[in-house]
Structures are given as structure tokens and as C-alpha cells.
Structure 1
Amino acid sequence: MISNPRINGLHEIPNVLSAEEADKLSNAIDNQHFREWCPEGFDRRNRVQRYSGKDMTDHFGWVFDKIVSASDQANVALRRPLELVITEHTPSSCRSIVNTFEQRELCPCQQQQQQCQCYVAQLTLVNNGIYSVEKPVGRDLECWDLVEPATTILMEQNGVVIKTGESLWEWRGRISDIKDSNSCGEESSSVKGWKKGQKKLALSNKRSVTLSFRGVLPPEPSSLSKQMESCKLSEESEPQVPLAKLLTIIVTTSPIRSNPSTELLERTFDTFQFAGSEFAYECPKVIVCDGCRVLEDDTGENTDSDEKKDDDPPKITRKYANVKQTLRNGIATVDQAKNYTELKKRLHKLCADSQGTQSTFSNTTVVELEERHGYGFALRHALYNCVETPYVCVIQHDRTFMRPTPIQEVVSAMESREDIKYVGVSMKSNLNYYDIFSSKYSRRACTELKTMIIRPEELNISGNRYGPNGHSIANMVEPPSEKRRKLRDIARQTYMASHQNIIYEEWVESMSSSGANQDGFHQLSLTPTLFWYDNTHIVRTEHYRDFIYNPVFKMVARGGFVEDKLSPIIKRSCERLGLKDGHAKFGCYLLDDHSGDVFTGHLDGGSYNTAGLHVKRNASERS
């Protein structure tokens, strides 16, 4: 046995099993003689077999006896394990960069500062494994300050690594790589990519299997009273604050080829009436006009009013060679920039003329940004400089409401529950979110997500307004063609057969004795999401300002969308802290009334054509 000099309590024992014994054991595991593989890990990238009690003793008792025999030489006492976890590691499963502790909570003996006999003994089969470990200053999954630089440990094939004491409780790590035991000194393909002369198929089969005998006592059950207190609904009835005092609407826009026409924004604003008259006419609104970079003309003369900082015009790669992608990247020609300037003038006039009238553009301010910020930082500018309400509703210039939407009720639910920080309004791509989640993540995560679905009292809405037969569906904007109507009907049928809807129907059946969904009431749901959709959403202003846009965390990139960088961070947070705690920091949910229809649609501003553009295009095609 070899004790690691850098890590107290870490012991390495080579060649615990002979090659013949290891082959026999790995073949039995691979052929699933004892138990079938089950996909686990947060994103289902690991295949796992779990054993305990008599099954563990009968099938793997002889393996543990060999480990005990080898560990006795170093006076490491190992009691009978409580569980055996067999995990298959592949290059795909090693992509995670999240280091975790063996157990998030301390065992009872550690909590009571008693002598601890807990351990984890890991036997490695098939190929060597690389174990990356680090010791943070404090025992916290989100402590980034390290006592010393991270290090790696080679988990030799047929050898055992035993973790006790400090190495078990104060160090965190992960299996970060696989090393072919027959290729000494070669770097792994999962780090350096496919090597010259190696076949992709052969490398894709590269794997390592670890048998983790866990003799770790589970933590004592903690009181949930504090967690429950934060989720309790307010029992005292408070006077309802007008929505206009609670919510500011932020609409983001940027150059598109339909400029200088305001038709796209007018169509978007007209649908605000679906969110209620107070939302449409009384809530303060801010239109944020992002800046753009202007391409020089053929003469090289810069016609933009602002002087360019660089001598060269913005470069356009093949990815942004067409008009739509170029504008999406914030690059406009001289003519497009002029049209955009004209659009902003028209918006100022439209908002000024609407003041004091029954128009959706009343109470609207137009904010112009001199430089290109991108969606994320344009929204950031509005949040810091134009918002005084505790909540914001963020809408992109081409996102429309398709039917009556309970914005007032959503804000009331957020007022009652501090754990709801973001509510996304459903669209086509996330209507069946639970099914999307279950296709990506493990069975345990799906079961846990089901328990995290929220059904607030404020979203138990009367008047037959929502649900499959509600007035909201009856007043929905009809698709313009027969083909789209058929696609909508297919989407409804798909939803009714989805797990998203089945879970809801099971809940309604379980609550039937308490009168759920009776007397014209219909309960809407908030489904947790690990993706921060930039589609229409309501958010706590302080959550955006103090957390999402906190410069320390760097969760939003300048020039990009919020969802692009933030969504992977949410996923890693859940992988590190567990689904409930990792999600609670972001508190993002999706609204669903279980009707099978979306609340919002997409006009696709980048491809949007006004009637004038259609005439011009048809004329050019005829010529």
C-alpha cells in the first residue's frame, strides 16, 4: 500500500486482483449477470449498477475480502460497506468539469467530532482512470479558493484507492480522464482529441469501470422548517398593489431589414392586450434600441456620424455572410444604419403621440444606445437606468402574445413566494419541458424535478379562463394557413400524451377530493427549468441586477444573449449542488396552463418583410 504524501488519508493499493480475476469480474458486470446498467449522473452520461445488503455480499463479497486483506498491511480498518456503486466511465462522461465531495453532508461522527471510520474504496477495472482532486479553503461546493493547486491521481487498473479522513471529507474531485493501461505515457483522447492513425470507433469504446465500496454513514436528517418557511404562502391578505406599480415592460430591438417601418413593433405591442388592459396601457414601457457597427461603403469613406475607433471596418465571416446573420451580429450597411436611425425617429414620434391616449405605446420611453451592446448588455442598460419597479417583463421585438396570458396572477404568485425569481411564458420549443428534461437527465433527476413543480394558489384561476376548454384558447390567434392549423392540432395531441400533461392529470386526480379544477377554477403550474429562455419572461429586478448581472460572476457576455452563457451555468450549479439547491439560486420556472397551446409566438424579426418589401422583392424577381 502506498500513502499519498500530499493528501492525508488517501491510500493506493496496486494489483489487488489478478488479471484473470479482473477479466472474469468485468465480463460478469458487462454481461449484466447480476444487474442491468442504469443511466445515471446528472446528464445520464454514466451507466451505473447499485448493490446493497445480501446481493452485494453474495456477488462481490470476495472482492471486498481481497481489499480488506490488502489494506490490513497498512493498518487501515475497513468495516462492511453499506453500498456498492459500479460506474462506467467513458470519454463522454469525463467531459464534466464539476468537482464534488463524496457526500455533501458530513456523517454523524464528523458532525459530533468523534473518531470517524467512514471510507470509500474504489477498485478500477478495464483501463486506468485519472482522478482530479482539489482541496478548497472551506468545505463548500462553491468555494473557489484552494489550499493548494489541484492535482491528479492515477487509479491503476486492478488497483484500489481508499479514501478516509481528510481525503474523504475535505477534498473534492471527479474522474476526469481515462488512460489506456497498455499505452504508457500516452495522453488520453478525451483531452487531446483523435490522434493520427487512430480510429474514432475504437476510441469511442474506450472505458474504465470503478467499483466503489462505500462505508459512509448517511447524514442525520435535518429540519426542513426553514426551507418550508420560505415557500409558505402569505396567510394574511394584503391590499393588492396595481400592476403598473410593480412591473416595467422592457422591449429590446436592433437593426432588421424591415426598418424604417415600425410595423413589427406595432404588431408586437398590439398583442399586449392579451396580457390585460393594465399591462397594455398603464405599465411603464421601455424600448431599448441597441447600437450597431456600420460597414464602410465601397469608397472606404465612413458615413457613420460617430468616428470609428479602428481603421478597418468590421470583419464578416462566412457564418455572417447573409443579411439576417450580419444584422444579428450587430453589423449594418450604411443604408441599413440610415433606416435604423429613421426607425428610432419614428418610434420617438409614435410614443410621443400616444401619451394620454388609449394606445399600447402610451407610457413608453425610447432609449437609444450609441454603441452595440448585444441583447444581454442592452437589457442590462435598461435594468440599471430605466427601471424603478420590483419586477420586469422582458420582451424581444418579434415575440408576441398569442392568447390571454395571466401576467397579473404570475406577479402575484412571485410576490407571495420568494423562491420564484423568473417565470418564462411558454413557447413552441419548451411547451413539453418535462419531456425535454427527461430525455437529457437521469431518472433520479426527473423524479426530483417532478417534486419541484409549483402550483401557487394565485394561479388557481376562476372563470373557465384557462385549460383545454378555457376562454384563453377560444380567443387565441388563429394560424394564417390550413397547414399551420394542422400543425397546431398535432402539437396539441402530442402535448396531451406527454409526461408534462400526464403528471398534471395525476395531480388533479390525487387532489379531486379537495375540489381541484372544479366550479370553473383551473390550476396553472410552474415547471422548473435549467434553461434561461430569453423569450418573454417576468423576473425580479433585483435578481437580474444583483445576481445575474453581478460582474463578479460573469454570467452574461457582452454582445451575446443572456441564455447562451447563463444556461450552462445553471446546469453546472445543479450538477454541483444537487438539483434542488442548484436550481434554487436561479429560481427559474415555465408557466403552463395544460391546454396544449403556447402563450407566445415568434414573428422572426430577422426575416420579417413588410408589404413594401414584398412588392420590391416580387418586382426584382420579375425583372
Structure 2
Amino acid sequence: MESISSLLTVAITTSPTPSSPSTELISSVIESFRLHCPELAATRVIVVFDTFDRIAAQNRLKSGSASPEVAQHYSAYKENVKSLVLREYVNDSEHGHDLQQATATAEFGSPHDENNSVELSITHTPDRHVTFIEPVARLGFGLAVRSALRVVETPYVWVQQHDWALVADIPLQPLLEVMHSSSAEANTDTPKPIKYISFPSIRMLRYAISDCVNSYPALRTLTATLKDDFPSSSQPDVKVPLTPLFFWFDKPHLASTEHYLSRVFPTRLAMRRGEFIEDKIGQRARGQMKDGEWGKWATWLYYPDEGRELCLRHLMGRTWRGGEGGLVGKYQKGT
């Protein structure tokens, strides 16, 4: 295979948080990359800075309302994150002076309504190793991800929300290899397509034997048929344990860029402004999977130690206000 840096782009979505203008939240995510999957701190990276719709007395960040304090600090937060990412990914916090500029549009809904679009400002390093996307109005997670995918130049993407940290080692190269191999084997008689891989959070432990699988005969059968330890071509001693996943989650995941765009965002009608993928597409996908159409989604869960090993920890960005000692150590062991 090619190098990971030529195969994969990390797409980070961020938005107003009570901890602004501190970058400790994203710093903790990047620190977790370095601890548990160093390749994610060396790939190309795209950061989408979503924004708020309105200023209100209290934060309702998921619905687009920001308090005056959060709104006031957001511009400084964006500049701080840019400096952080440039320092971490190109080892140069001053590289921002050399950023090149472009524009794009995030369209949605009916094409007959001229208000159904948001203008995007895009800046990037000359080699496009680091890219920043800033909308003039709120996108929501779904359109933020689509905006990043449209500038991704690699066949795979790691989608990362700003408040999920890794807490276990992730074998990124073997994961990419099994995804690549599944594409090469797509025309065989017994394919196991692998287009999307999520990772266990606390509620996903022992997923293969959970009620959301066992309660449905079709899902039980798919799990018994497809769940496997997949071989790695470059690391023969490494097996990649995967079990079918019957949902499309927003939490950190690895996916085929082309599959993402064609399956989740086939038209501008697929996602409205402000929507989350798992709320809109995840429910639809699960319904189709129950009817036997899992293969069109090809979603998997990384499943070390038969699903007993926790890989992700939610840092609760909408409520966290910062604290001493960073977040990675605090959340490292499942507290």
C-alpha cells in the first residue's frame, strides 16, 4: 500500500464551546492521537470551524444558540486553534502567514430557494497538508463533514469531532489495509465490504451480543456470518477484529471518501442545515439494515477483546469549561 499520509486525511469539526478561547479540548484530542495512533497526528488535516446562529442568554449549542461570552470568544478560539494545528501538523505556528485562500459554497435543500446555501472561506498551506474551512453561517455537523469531504484528496478519511479522545491503541495501517483489500475483493462470490469503521465507546462495549443486535434475527445472522479477525498484509502477526455495525455514528470513524459522499450525501437534499448525520442518515441506515440491506452501507465496529476494550471517551465539549492537568489523563481509564 501507499503511505498513510497519501491514503488518509483527518477531518476535525469544531464549533463554539464554553471553554473558548482555550484550545485544551482539541489539544487533548491531538494528544490522544500521539499516544494511541501517532499516524493521525502526521496526516493531512482539515479543520471545519462551524459557528452559531444566534446569541442567547444561555448556551444551546446543539441547536445553534451561544451565550454572549461564548460568542465573544469564538473568533479568538478559531485563531488559537489555527496556531495549534499548524504547530502540531507542520511544526510552525507562524505558517499561517503563508496560507492560500479559496472560496466554496455549501448548498442544501431545494435549489429553487436562493437562501439555501452558505458561503465558505477556505485557507490552506501551499501543499494542502493543513486546511481550514470557515462558513459565514452555521452549517451543523452534517454539512460541516460534507464541506470537508469535498476538499479531501485521499481515498480515506478519519472524521473527528472535537470532544472525542482515543483511550486505546488503534492499528491504523492494518485497518486501512483491510478496507483496501475489501474493495479489491468486491467482485468475489463472498465479499465482506468494509467502507466505514467506528470504534467502541462506553455504550458500544460487547456490541455484537447486545440487545440492539440480538433482538433482530437478520442482524444476528449477519453478525454470525461476517464477524471476523481480518489479516493484515504488512503485519502478519496482527489481526483486525471487526463486527458488523448496524448504524452510522457521528463519533470518530474511518471511512471511504467516495462511499461517504455517494451514500450519505448523494444530493443537496440529503442533509439540511443544522442536522447531524446519525440523527438523519443513521436511523435510515439502521432501518434498511434490518431489511437486509447492510451491504449498501458496509459499516463495521472495531472489536478488540470481543468488544471488551474501550477505545473512545467523550469529553463533553458542550458543557466542559476546562480544568487542571488536561483531559486525556483524566479520561484515560474509563472514569
Q: Equivalent of 1:329, from 57, 60, 63?
A: 63
**Within 5 Å, which residues of 2 pair with 1:204-283?**
240-281=1-42, 283=43
- Is 2:284 aligned against 1:573? no
* Kept after mapping to 2: 8 A contact 1:395/1:535: yes
* Kept after mapping to 1: 8 A contact 2:167/2:312: yes
Q: CA deviation at 1:523?
A: 3.1
- Is 2:323 aligned against 1:589? no
Q: Which has the higher contact order (CA 8 A, sep 6+)?
A: 2
Deviations 1:245-293 (A, max 9, x none): 0000011111110001111111111111244433322x00111110211
Q: Equivalent of 1:457, from 231, 254, 270?
A: 231
For 1:294, the aligned partner's letter is R
Deviations 1:13-52 (A, max 9, x none): xxxxxxxxxxxxxxxxxxxxxxxxxxxxxxxxxxxxxxxx
Deviations 1:285-306 (A, max 9, x none): 1111102112278xxxxxxxxx
Structure 1 residues 436 and 556, CA gap change in structure 2 (3 angstroms): farther
Q: CA deviation at 1:460?
A: 9.8
Equivalent position of 1:599 in the other structure: 311
Equivalent position of 1:503 in the other structure: none
Q: Equivalent of 1:369, from 135, 152, 156?
A: 135
Deviations 1:483-517 (A, max 9, x none): xxxxxxxxxxxxxxxxxxxxxxxxxxxxxxxxxxx
Q: Which whole-Å CA distance do the structure 2 matches of 1:294 and 1:444 have between them?
A: 45
Equivalent position of 2:180 in the other structure: 415
Q: Which whole-Å CA distance do the structure 1 matches of 2:284 and 2:56 have between them?
A: 38
Percent of matched pairs sharing the same residue: 28
Determine helix, strand or coil for the equivalent of 1:594. Answer: helix
Q: Which whole-Å CA distance do the structure 2 matches of 1:267 and 1:340 have between them?
A: 19
Determine helix, strand or coil for the equivalent of 2:301. Answer: strand
Structure 1 residues 335 and 433, CA gap change in structure 2 (3 angstroms): same
Structure 1: runs of 5+ lacking an equivalent:
1-239, 298-321, 463-520, 613-623
Equivalent position of 1:342 in the other structure: 76
Equivalent position of 1:144 in the other structure: none
Q: Equivalent of 2:52, from 273, 278, 292?
A: 292
- Provide the aligned length of Structure 1 versus Structure 2: 281
RMSD of aligned residue pairs (Cα, Å): 2.6
Q: CA deviation at 1:336?
A: 1.5
Structure 1 residues 601 and 358, CA gap change in structure 2 (3 angstroms): farther
Determine helix, strand or coil for the equivalent of 2:229. Answer: coil
Q: CA deviation at 1:351?
A: 3.3
Structure 1 residues 542 and 522, CA gap change in structure 2 (3 angstroms): closer
For 1:604, the aligned partner's letter is M
Structure 1 residues 539 and 293, CA gap change in structure 2 (3 angstroms): same
- Is 2:311 aligned against 1:537? no
For 2:298, the aligned partner's letter is G
- Is 2:89 aligned against 1:378? no
Determine helix, strand or coil for the equivalent of 2:274. Answer: coil
* Kept after mapping to 2: 8 A contact 1:423/1:589: yes
For 1:328, the aligned partner's letter is K
For 2:47, the aligned partner's letter is I
Q: CA deviation at 1:390?
A: 0.5
* Kept after mapping to 2: 8 A contact 1:410/1:459: no
Structure 2: runs of 5+ lacking an equivalent:
96-124, 184-192, 325-335
For 2:73, the aligned partner's letter is N
For 1:398, the aligned partner's letter is D
For 1:272, the aligned partner's letter is F
Q: Which whole-Å CA distance do the structure 1 matches of 2:271 and 2:210 have between them?
A: 24
The range that moved more, 538-547 or 590-599, is 590-599
Q: Which whole-Å CA distance do the structure 2 matches of 1:355 and 1:565 have between them?
A: 33
Deviations 1:446-498 (A, max 9, x none): 13421121432128966xxxxxxxxxxxxxxxxxxxxxxxxxxxxxxxxxxxx
TM-score normalised to the size of structure 2? 0.76
Q: Which whole-Å CA distance do the structure 1 matches of 2:92 and 2:50 have between them?
A: 27
